[in-house]
Structure 1
Amino acid sequence: MADTMQTTTTSGPRQADANPVTRFFRATEIDTRLLGMIGALLIIWIGFHVMTDGLFLTPRNLWNLTVQTSSVAVMATGMVLVIVTRNIDLSVGSILGFTGMIMGVMQAQILPDMLGFGHPAIWALALLSGLLVGAMVGTLHGLIIAFLGVPSFIVTLGGLLVWRGATWFVTSGQTVAPMDPTFRLMGGGTTGSIGATWSWIVGILACLAIAAAIINARRQRKRFAFPRKPIWAEYVIGAIGCLIVLGAVMVANSYYWPVAIARRYADASGIDWPEGGLLISHGIAIPVLIAIGVGIVMTFIATRLRFGRYVFAIGGNPEAAELAGIKTRWVTVRIFALMGVLCAIAAAISTARLNAATNAQGELDELYTIAAAVIGGTSLSGGMGTIAGAMLGALVMQSLQSGMVLLGIDTPLQRIVVGAVLVLAVWLDTVYRARAK
């Protein structure tokens, strides 16, 4: 009864005065800014689909789009925390290249000599070495920024140059290939996907997780006597979430193995080749699952852990956060260490996808990562940002690049468009914050 009265008093008169659309958004609590970004993404997709004569919105291109987005999306989740605390990291692309080269050398040269060629632990040890190097590089940056007082812009700009040069020195400029077969699964491809059956299982589990999250959020609101959404709004949110998940699974399962690979598989497995060909679905790619997993963990860190609350407190008012007893310097160190680990994860995805570690790996990824975070709603003034928004921003950036490639637009013009979009996103953020005051 008390909860009902509280809900009526806080939102009743406003609900009565508002139009139906406004009442719908208030009831469902949908982030209109995120919704606007989804609308912009759909416009980009439809526009490129028309301009490419129906090539863009095909299962093959959408599947490749998600795989190509994965590495930048992983780094964008960490960039959110960096920018929220009013810092910047310009070195993420170089760290990706450096850690990728370390992992490549470990599994192609060092570990086979130590453990023997084809040892099952090679890929895991190579990945672990990359994660450790990424964490150490990020920690070094954080210590210099936090305890020596050097601005993050300068430290990471120096890191951009230092780690790019270090990448060259690891192998004297040589490309390292091939990668361990198990390691290559993290890059996607025909074998780096989970297939149709497991994709549907993952989709169903994701729908159950959405329902559980809604139920838990409703219980928490009731526990602390907060106003709760109408039941119909909960159903709408759950239905939309499940439709998106199952739709994505359906698209992933609609992209089939190439005929030549399917025929080789049939011959090796003793399967008779049917008259209409053998249709084997790729399903969800492993790098996409890695990116989604990282996004879930980073969202939990940012919204549920004390560390996440400290990050946003520092971004909102660094002086007040320090006076409140928050160890702002060590929080900064941990943020950059986490950023280094995420760069290593992105490097594993990129190196596995290329099946090689190259000196040019990760070039300009710092631009795409920062742009993804800013387009996703992370304010350069600090204190505001979401993990989901940054990952969606990464998808927007990759969609632009993919569409321009299909149109045959030259690389220099692609960079002009990306730079213009970044400036536009910052301007829109400025306008949004000014109106919100």
Structure 2
Amino acid sequence: MTGRRLTSLLAYVTTAAAGASLLSGCGVLPGTTGGSREPVTVMTWAPDGTRATNMPGMPAMAQAYARWANASGGIDGHELRILTCNEQNTSAGAAACARRAVREKVVAVVGSYSQNGRAFMAPLEAAGIPYIGGYGISEDEFTSPLSYPVNGGQASLMAGHGMQLAESCRKVSLVRPDTVAGDKLPDLLDSGLRKSRHGGATDIPAVEDAGEYTQQAGRARTKAGRENGCVAAVLGERTQTFFDSFRRLPGPEDGGARSDRGTSDDDSADAVRISSVLGSVSQPVIDRTGGARSPFEGAYVTGWYPEANDARWAPMRKVIQRHAFADNRVDPADAGVQTTWIAYTVLKKVVESLDRDSVTAGAVSHALDRGVTIDTGGLTPELRWRYEDLLGAPGFPRIVNHQVTFQVVRQGRLVAQKPGFVDVGETVLTAP
């Protein structure tokens, strides 16, 4: 056999052996050490295709995160496997997702959205599965010992929103869902308003999935009054529907929405100003409704995180660009997508801190309870869930991040009304 033929034969054998090794080593990731570490399986759930609030970007962001992590060798050598579930905005749907998480033996539920905390937390608690970085919409996320929230939830948003509105609004009307979760919102908003010796807001409950809100819009405008009045709507995905009804109210003499005229922050014209919180109003919603000509122009908005164009979101944007570029569910300006990114940042840090070949749900929750510290790159304060780190507020004892941001819609963009974070922990503590 000639030297050339021998070299070719050796190259073929080497290539075939390598291919056989790759086939037999199913699940082995590039960059891992022989695939000795077991995969880490987690679940992310959110409602999709419902008549109320939908959050399809959260599971989609989880899948993009897994593609990015696995392309780089996984999380500390572990392949990240994502299960997703449509929570359907029902207690039955939430419970079904939780039971599936238990059956699939996930090590955590990460970056998920559900208003039905009582339905999903009980199955997770029974199986010892931690709930990391939920959206913060249900009270159970801030009471369960197996929940590790990354933001202050609706409690911090509403208390902060009251503080934001107290600076500019003489009277405030609050339009909110007529639900168990919505029943908590008036007291929280009032705690922020009263911190500045402001009277409480007029509470206007509304059906969460209504097709129009003319009656509630008219009452809200009347109660807010024409002199520096503000109408706050916190209806999730239906907030856009409410403000569409609001701007269609007849009679300019009755006082239209100040945002319709695109006024600036310090405009003192007699008109009602609109406002909301992140999640009910977001940059994607503003873009869909006309940008600078949107009904949200000039609106006050309270958020958990820095504005979407802040440089601290650059790592997330890079992952989305490379691994979810064609997926229109994943918008980097969406609060659900942002919360999911932060939640998976927590998961990554915890798994790396364990440095084990096999990761269990118990090991994850134990590491969090023992005080592993999470640096989110300035998107939140450092996160840690030891007993002494918990806020301990009535109804929301497990809040560890009680900072919010004050934003305003200017020329179709959500921008910072004031720089930095505002600590609302004391305000949440004093809420009824």
For Structure 1 versus Structure 2, the TM-score category normalised by the shorter chain is: under 0.3
Using CA pairs below 8 Å that are at least 6 residues apart, which structure has the higher relative contact order? 1
Between Structure 1 and Structure 2, which shows a larger proportion of helix residues?
A: 1
- Normalising by structure 1, we get a TM-score of 0.27
Between Structure 1 and Structure 2, which shows a larger proportion of strand residues?
A: 2
